[in-house]
Amino acid sequence: MDKVYIRGLEVETVIGIYDWERRAPQRLVINLEMQWDNRPAAAGDNIEQALNYKSVSDRLIAYTRDSRFELVETLAESLAALVLDEFQVPWLRLDLAKPGAIGPAQAVGVVIERTRSER
C-alpha cells in the first residue's frame, strides 16, 4: 500500500471546553497518512494523477482555522470525513495533537484511522 503523508502541519484555532480556551486561538498539530496508489502519477510524471498534498494541507488549514469545536475528537472526525470525501482517499490515519494543553506533557490528542467504506 502506498501512502502520502503530511507531518507537523501547524494550525491555530479556537478549541477547548474551558472559557479561557475559547478566548484565543490555540496551536494544533496535524499528522496525516493517506492511502493512495502512486503508480499512475509516477508512470506519467503527472500531478493530476497524484494526491496533491498541498491541496490537502490548504484545505485542512482553512477548515481548522474556521472551526470552533470544543473537543479535539470532534475536529479529528470532521477532518477525516473531509479528506475521505473531498480527496477520495480509501484510508487515512490522522493524528491531532494539542501541544501545551497539559503542563507536564509535550502534547495530548487523538489518533484515528478511517476508511471510505465506513462512511
User: Does the annotation mark 98 as catalytic?
Assistant: yes
The length of the chain is 119
Say which amino acid occupies 22.
R
Sign of the Cα torsion 23, 106, 62, 94 reads negative
Side chain identity, residue 83:
V
Instruction: Pick the catalytic residue from 98, 101, 109, 114.
Output: 98
Taking a C-beta distance cutoff of 8 angstroms, is the pair 83, 92 a contact? yes
51, HSE (Cβ side, Cα atoms, 13 Å): 25
Point out the residues that are catalytic. 98
